[in-house]
Amino acid sequence: MSDPPRRPRRQSWNRSQSDSFGPIKQVGVAVAIGLPLLVVGVLMLAILLVSLVGAETSLWILAGAILVGGFAAALSSRIL
């Protein structure tokens, strides 16, 4: 009794899983280190603001900062 002949695997099975993600991109030092430090700094600043002036006042300050940032973005006429 002989074993049935093996069929070749589909091509998608022969590829490794990492092939589907495409080529690996290198990330610069500014993004790898600077961006997490920026996020942590912004969160610490927000916590400090809330602790100094209170929750309601910090929301008014945040709303004003968003308004000024949006107004500056509108005046810049840049297209994303």
Task: Tell me the residue ranges of DSSP E strands in 1-80.
Answer: none
pTM higher than the cut 0.85: no
Q: What is the pLDDT of residues 52-68, one digit of tens each?
A: 888 889 888 889 999 99
- What was the pLDDT predicted at 6? 73
57: tokens are 């006042």
For the chain, what is the mean pLDDT? Answer: 78
Q: What is the pLDDT of residues 45-55, one digit of tens each?
A: 888 988 988 88
CB 58 within 8 A of CB 49: yes
